[in-house]
Amino acid sequence: MSDWNTLKAPDEAGIEAMAQAALQALPAEFRALAQEVAIRVADFAPEDLLDEMQIDDPFDLTGLYEGIPVTEKSVSDQPQGPDIVWLFRRPLLDEWAARGNVSLGELVNHVVTHELAHHFGWSDEQIAQIDRWWE
């Protein structure tokens, strides 16, 4: 039995390592495109982003894709930096604890895959048709 008094939640680097493992597990054709996306981890989404997205509770946002989907990119686009998949550590940990039926690695893998689907040009509705994770 674990001594819960000595266990610590993974830090940002630990969450990023889980995200990198998720990238390596992608099928080859998606893994190549995913290499163009940076992974960033923060404890919470910035307040201005939450306001822009009309999200009142910062624990409601576990991840976010920031960039231009590959289906919309043009050779005439001026690069503004890499596309980014943001992972928000505290909401991820909170959801993981609340669920109790998946590992933290599975949850991070799911969020990374969902956000990468946006990079590939999929809408939330299209993702939901094949991914029943949130039901």
* CATH code (residue 97): 3.30.2010.20
Flag whether 30 is in a domain.
yes
The pair of three-digit structure tokens given for residue 116, joined into one six-digit string: 């990468």
Flag whether 27 is in a domain.
yes
Sheet strand arrangement including 37-42 = 37-42, 83-88, 63-66
Report the distance separating Cα 59 and Cα 73, nearest Å: 31
Flag whether 75 is in a domain.
no
Residues in the chain: 135
Per-residue confidence in pLDDT tens, the chain, 135 aa: 556 677 788 999 999 999 999 999 888 888 888 888 999 999 999 999 999 999 999 999 999 999 988 888 777 766 677 899 999 999 999 999 998 889 999 999 999 988 998 888 888 787 777 666 655
Task: Look up the domain containing 116 and give its range.
Answer: 12-66+82-130
Backbone angles phi, psi at 66, to 5 degrees: -125, 110
Report the predicted TM-score, pTM, of the whole model to 2 decimal places. 0.86
pLDDT of res. 74:
74
Report the distance separating Cα 14 and Cα 30, nearest Å: 23
Report the distance separating Cα 105 and Cα 18, nearest Å: 6
Flag whether 28 is in a domain.
yes
Flag whether 6 is in a domain.
no
Flag whether 18 is in a domain.
yes
Give yes or no for a contact between 79 and 110, defined as CB atoms under 8 angstroms apart: no
Domain count, the chain: 1
Flag whether 40 is in a domain.
yes
Tell me the DSSP string of 69-95: -TTT--TTPPP-S-EEEEEEHHHHHHH
pLDDT of res. 35:
86
Flag whether 106 is in a domain.
yes
